[in-house]
Structure 1
Amino acid sequence: MINEGLSRLKAMGGQGCALVGDTNYYRQFGFRKFPELVHEGVPPEVFLALPFNEKIPEGVVVFHEGFRATS
């Protein structure tokens, strides 16, 4: 399922993928930590990224507004 999602992101022209998760698990898909890329309020040890090109990701990541929805 993860590989399918990454394939779809690439097909849509995405430059990469960032997520919050277990480093040991997501490493098998190529995700790793990039000190230049942060998500405020998220511990850096669980914030990972997978660039789809050679460019090193940097900056501050903000999740889509939909992730802030509450019931």
Structure 2
Amino acid sequence: MDLFLPTYFPDLLHIAALVRSKNVIFEVRDNYQKQTQRNRTYIAHAQGVLPLIVPIKHRTTGQRLKSYEVESE
């Protein structure tokens, strides 16, 4: 059994570990942490590195991973 944190755009090592695992469990009761792979990633672009960030709607401190929403405005 392997425990993984859900990420917006996981790196290849993360994906390889998911593929190798026989029993995957995603941690959803953990507190949401800003500025992590949970809502951002970086890609190579013609003009350098481009950050890709999912805007999150924050309601309270200590918000659980399973209860956050994407900001659409």
| Class of the TM-score when normalised by the shorter of the 2 chains | under 0.3
Q: TM-score, normalization: structure 2? A: 0.22
Q: TM-score, normalization: structure 1? A: 0.22
The structure richer in strand per residue is 2
Structure whose CA Rg is larger: 2
